[in-house]
Amino acid sequence: MKVSKCRFGVLSDGTKVRLYTADNGAMSFSVTDYGCIITNISVPDKKGDRNDIVLGYSTFEGYLNDTKTYFGACIGRYANRIANAHFSLNGAEYSLDANDGTSCLHGGFKGYNRTVWKAKPIEGENEAGVRFTRTSPAGEQGFPGKLKLEIEYILTKANELIFRYKAAAKEDTVVSLTNHSYYNLAGEGSGDILSHKLRLNASKYLPVDARLIPTGKQLEVEKSAFDFRSAKTIGCDIKKAGGYDHCFCIEQNRKEYAKGAASGLYFCAEAEDEKSGRKMSVYTDCPGVQFYSGNFLDVPAGKNGMPYTKYAGFCLETERYPDSPNRPEFPSALVKAGETYESVTVHIFNA
């Protein structure tokens, strides 16, 4: 399998931005070295017709000027929200960018989604993709510790899209990396995702306050609008929930392990659009997944000038729990000096 490369845009300082595309003959994806942003995932429906199933823009300028949606982007140093843009570590206090009210969201004003990464195509008999690398210096976004980052996005012949993350820490720090693609399995720009069926492997979720910061509790989903243990439409209880923008606690059991690239990972989620027949299954080693139903989407012109309004796409962001640096009762997000953070998430597509 091969990777094609083309020019995507130019930054004001003259830095050239490239777009890379991997195609296995059945499906394809494209990603740019600006923010490791996935710009396209084209998947066949039950008739064999391909459609792009991720929201985004037709031009580089769209991504460059967008400071709200994080369409398709790599998120770091810390995915999701950190309360009061502040945390303490080893007795030292760290102040972060307050870019979401009083909170730090997705790393701050200049997260990993707004930097150019070094890119190297990966080509093999059964897979193709891109390896991205960069160094995040100590103090970037206010976070302690230098990080050496390596991220791979890989497509296999089995229609598996693999996300691999590594972050080697020079000093003690906190890390949580994810991808922020918005999916609409009927095809981007085709309407809302309320009729999509969703199943989540989670018996608990993290309730949030008015700032969308976890309260620290882990509530049972049973008999609530947050119960997706059996598949139901996203719109079924969305009014009761007030929209979904919550972290679900993944059940780390061995009952639903997959084969292939997802072997050894925990089942996370399964989404399906019955009209097109497209199905996406997600496996990960992360403790949590942020299910976001696109509550705040208001994009006048997405791809091909199509507007994206409320519920036009959904996100499944595999991650460590939000605000974990301030919540000792949550699984730790600490990466000690000399250690390497590693995480893998696999999306499997079929129709």
The dihedral built from the CA positions of residue 245, 251, 255 and 260, taken in this order, carries a sign that is positive
Residues 130, 349: Cα–Cα separation, whole Å: 19
The 10 Å Cβ neighbour count of residue 351 is 19
317 in catalytic set = yes
- From the list 106, 180, 196, 347, the catalytic residue is 180
Contact 29, 40 (CB under 8 A): yes
3-state secondary structure 270-315: EEECCCCCCEEEEEECCCEEEEECCCCCCECCCHHHCCECCCCCEE
The 3-state DSSP composition of the chain as helix, strand, coil percent (nearest 5) reads 10, 45, 50
- Cβ within 8 Å of residue 287, ≥6 positions away: 249, 250, 252, 320, 321, 331
Q: Identify the three-state secondary structure at position 61.
A: helix
Tokens of 28: 């394809």
180 in catalytic set = yes
- Cβ within 8 Å of residue 166, ≥6 positions away: 149, 150, 151, 340, 341, 342
Catalytic residue set:
180, 317
